[in-house]
Amino acid sequence: MDRRPVRRETPADHLQLASAPSGYTTGMAVARIMAGALAVNRVAFGLNYVLRPASAGPSWIGRTAGRPATKVMTRSQGIRDVALGGGALLALARRGGDARTWVAAHALADATDFAATWAARDRLPRRGARLALCVAGVSTAVAVVAAAGVRPAGSGPVASAERAENG
């Protein structure tokens, strides 16, 4: 007699997308879309900071953005964002298991931006600090939710059930 617990079907088991690989539910597809949108946004912001580092001034750090030393730091943050976004997009396109790691790295970077801005908020332009805190907070939340929902191909409740039935 088989004593393994019986897995009950849930509505999510039947929400597979027609073009999605076996095991993908609508929730997983939404998480991948969120992760992809976040990655594209990160590449765009990063390229802007690499090419136009003084643009961080009005939206975040104020007049100090035009100083040469600040431009160095802004460009390095920009290229970090290009690398994070590009890595996530590549991982999502390959449908490999490392997409979750890349998206989790987005959450870590955004949470760090939030914490650093919060710590310096009294020395930053009020409007820029509020905007940066809002963007970093929302971006952190989106990245956390997306990372939790992104799974490699062949995982998830439908794929697990298929493996159990076939194996």
pLDDT in tens, 88-109: 999 999 876 689 999 999 999 9
Domain positions in the chain: 21-156
State the Cα–Cα distance between residues 148 and 28, nearest whole angstrom: 9
64 to each of 18, 28, 49, 147, 162, how far by Cα in Å?
A: 51, 42, 14, 34, 57
Share of the chain above pLDDT 90, in %: 62
Closest by Cα among 146, 85, 143 to 110: 143
State the Cα–Cα distance between residues 12 and 149, nearest whole angstrom: 13
* 86 contacts: CB under 8 Å, gap ≥ 6: 39, 43
Average pLDDT on 113-133 reads 95
pLDDT digit string, tens, across residues 27-69 = 678 889 999 999 999 999 999 999 999 998 888 899 999 999 9
42 to each of 26, 29, 106, how far by Cα in Å?
A: 24, 20, 9
- Which band of pLDDT confidence, cut at 50, 70 and 90, is reported for residue 2? low
Exposed e or buried b for every residue in 121-156, given b needs 16+ CB within 10 A? Answer: eeebbeebbeebbebbbebbebbbbbbebbbbebbb
